[in-house]
A and B are shown apart, each in its own frame.
Chain A
Amino acid sequence: MGVTYVSPSVFPLDGQVGYSKNSTFGDPTLKPELTTSVEFGTQLAFFNNKASLDVTYYKSNAKDQIIPVPISDATGFSSYITNAGEIENRGWEIVVGGTPIEKGDFKWDVSANLTTNKNEVKAIREGIDQIVVGSQSGYAGASVTMILTEGQAYGNIYGSSYIRSGSDPEGTTLNRGLPQVIGANGFPIRTGDQLILGNAIPKFFGGIKNQFSYKGFEFSFLLDFRTGIQQYSQFANYLSAFGKQKDSERRNETIVFPGVMADGSQNSKPVWLGQGIGPDGVNYGAGYWRNTYRGASENFVTNASYLKLRKITLAYNLMPNTLERTPFRTARVSIAANNIILGTPWDGFDPESFSSGAGGNAVGFTGLGFPGVQSFFFTLNLGL
């Protein structure tokens, strides 16, 4: 609380102990956080409980959230622990389920759920304009930061981008639909102005679970999806600095970047994507990917939606009469697979892996975290 001092661990040196002002300042008037949530919904069942529908609306407000706010080192502190603000989450949760077919030995159960989420930073403590939740670095100014600003959603990822023609100078979000401005050298121009490139909290997520059983057979699968989410791929940034990413296979091509020049005319200047002296005699130095591409965060904040097959199992329970002549009472054979990625626009290994980046427990930064594991199982269960 308040101002404190620390003695850095390098001391004592030559018998002297040094002291330094602690760079974390704890607000002496700290209050506890308070979360208020409201939920209302309905639970319906039909056809003698063979079908059910739950619909819920939720709204939750967390006030006086205690967050270590990173502040300018020039203030005398680097981190200010205080009641920083209020965040609201609201949305719908819908669960539909039932047993569409139950006839004789065959049964099919299904259950599906969908959640929608909209969140907003309702208020930030007076005197602070924005709170940096976390950041992750990238080469040549491609670092991204997750910043909370009043009136914006939680989880916005800010970073550098290419200049766009016709963009609103007061705008805070990058509009990727606008044409890029191409410089005199034929390459797009990067700006360090921080714009919102994406948001790391999914807008829709949910799943479907299906179970079929027929006599001794069981078959089930669980699908999981989320969408409306973007993440920063530090790994892609690193690869692009060394020409290891797939796109750099076109390094021997000469292309014209689509876009407009500063005067508004269409760009027509052909440039070579390689390094050193190109076939046109121009010295491209370290080349497009090192000079231009790797320094713009927008290239690495991409759609991290996915549809995954969480689990799929096919099993067979052997009939008791088959087992009469064996010492076993029960036997079950199954094959299963977990975490199979069915589809994702994410071009890293796994859209779900993340490392928390620097300065907090922010999501949305994938860093060099290990991807999830896709696995296959062959199982034999025997009971005595």
Chain B
Amino acid sequence: MILLASSCETFLDVNTNPNNPTDAPISGLMTNITYQTTLNVYRQGRTAAFYVQYLASPNPSSSSDTMEREDFSTMWFNLYNAMTDVNEMILKSQESGAKHYLGAGQVMMALNLAMTVDFFGDVPYSESFNFTTVTPSYDDDMTLYQSIDALLTEGIANLNAESTSTIGLDDFIFKGDIGKWKKFAYTLKARYLIHTKGDAGYSDAAVLSAIDNGFASNEDNAQIFFFEQDRNPWANVARNNANLLLDGWISEQFVEALDGTSYPTIDPRMPLLIGTTDDGEFLGTVNGAGRGNAPEEGARSTLIQEQYYTSTESPLLISTYAELKFIEAEAALASNKDRAYAAYLAGISAHMDMLSVETAKKAAYLADPSVSMGAAALSIDDIFKEKYVALFLHPETWNDARRYDYAYKNMNLPDNLNPNLSGQFIRRVAYPDSEVSRNGKNIPSVTLLDRIWWDQ
């Protein structure tokens, strides 16, 4: 009888759901955070790739090529979902004194927040995550950049302190290497500072001093290597395309940047990044124009499987040493041309090493006078030209393009451009339909030409 009674009690206890625990381990949150943040980089890269003409659609007038107003409700959800989990991890680690988790959390929050601001401009933050209000207000994007820098600074301090628990394999990015987390935080500092070049309060020196503490080699790259059970998303794109679910078609702009058309040299990285037509040629698709009468396969360059970016267990890059070098080149250009030139060459070299370009080809490319023009002749155009290739498929290129006013050589507006853009390139994305319907009163009224604060 006693046994029956006790089983009745637990049987009728329907209010606790074993599938939804009311608490989660910090390490579990860390795993999901590192995983989703990396996927957020992919999701943004997916969209930005069409705006900066890495990729083009095989169909004419596709909304991404023509820079139309699209709905980014899913991307918004994924960014805020990641930030919500980071917030949870920050609260828990503050309670338990796990300073390393706190520091890493602050770095991840800064990264996700910056990704959100760079796409959407003013976004909710100070009233977010803790359910204080059902309709959080939107914070000013310039103020948010200050919060991002503050988060990175605090994060570095916490990473330097003693922690009650150590990060281990639950961290998919650095596997618990605190030294690399600190370098990553400094690298991000440099990245977000360089966005503000040309705005009040910017200083090259601040960027350079952050760079000195940033990544020191390709070994430090912030990336996740994907899994047999969960393929690298770009690998999926290449795989889908091979199965005629068309995707990952290369833009004419990118092909011409590599094949000797826009610039004097042929880049040895080209066959390692993109595929050829059935005749062995590299041929891109014009953004907005589609493939015309060309068939679905064999007539244009696309992403192909088993390459550096597109293998099952390929890394998905969050931030690289190569990117840092190009930031250094840009920051040092005014004050120290020798340093800028060395960084520029180091950036090209680092990217080539990632792709495992043959030593002889790499040396030949670097020796070409159009690439090695010497410190005196180095210009901002050269830096951006090489950074464009080194950051293939990365959303940071859209930030570069907007700062550079899309001035890449031979970069033209896409065909059938969205007429609401009045003949200009897009400067931001629209707020998602989900926010329009759920938080409409707080949304600022913007067009696709309204620039993020650092772009003005």
Contact = CB atoms under 8 A, between A and B. Distances in A.
Interface of A: 1-8, 10-11, 13-23, 25, 69-78, 80, 127-129, 132, 135, 137, 139-141, 143, 145, 147, 158, 185, 192, 194, 285-286, 290-291, 295
Contact of B230 (A10, A129, A290): A10
B227 interface: yes
B169 A290 contact: no
B220 interface: no
Given A17-B28, A72-B124, A80-B134, A132 B438 contact: yes
Interface in B118-176: 123-125, 127-131, 133-136, 169-170, 172
Given A21-B88, A70-B438, A291-B419, A140 B69 contact: yes
Contacts, number: 157
B396 interface: no
A285 B87 CA distance: 46
B379 interface: no
Contact of A141 (B69, B84, B87): B69
A1 B15 contact: yes
B335 to A, nearest CB: 40
B71 A143 contact: yes
B177 to A, nearest CB: 16
B134 A73 contact: no
B13 interface: no
B57 to A, nearest CB: 13
Interface string B170-206: 1010000000000000000000000000000000000
B392 to A, nearest CB: 25
Contact of A285 (B32, B128, B419): B419
A76 B87 CA distance: 9
Interface stretch (B315-323, B398-406, B429-437): B429-437
B19 A6 contact: yes
Interface in B95-136: 123-125, 127-131, 133-136
Nearest to A78: B77
A75 B22 contact: no
Nearest to B434: A73
Nearest to A80: B134
A5 B433 contact: no
B31 A19 contact: yes
Contacts of B68: 140
B22 A74 contact: no
Interface string B61-86: 10100101101000011001100110
Given A73-B80, A74-B123, A76-B128, A11 B31 contact: yes
B427 to A, nearest CB: 17
Contacts of A145: 433, 437
B276 interface: no
Contacts of A140: 63, 68-69
Q: Which range holds the interface residue count of chain B?
A: 35 or more
A11 B170 CA distance: 12
Nearest to B125: A74
A116 B439 CA distance: 34
Contacts of B15: 1
Contacts of A6: 19-20
A75 B134 contact: yes
A11 B31 CA distance: 9
A19 B69 contact: no
B17 interface: yes
B21 interface: yes
Given A7-B28, A13-B227, A25-B131, A75 B437 contact: no
Contact of A19 (B28, B229, B430): B28
A88 to B, nearest CB: 23
Which of B20, B135, B437 gathers most chain A CB within 10 Å?
B437
Contact of B77 (A73, A127, A139): A73
A158 B227 CA distance: 43
Nearest to B169: A16
A142 to B, nearest CB: 10
Contacts of A127: 133-134
Nearest to B116: A74
A77 B131 contact: yes
Contacts of A70: 434, 437-438
Interface string B434-456: 11111111000000000000000
A128 B441 CA distance: 12
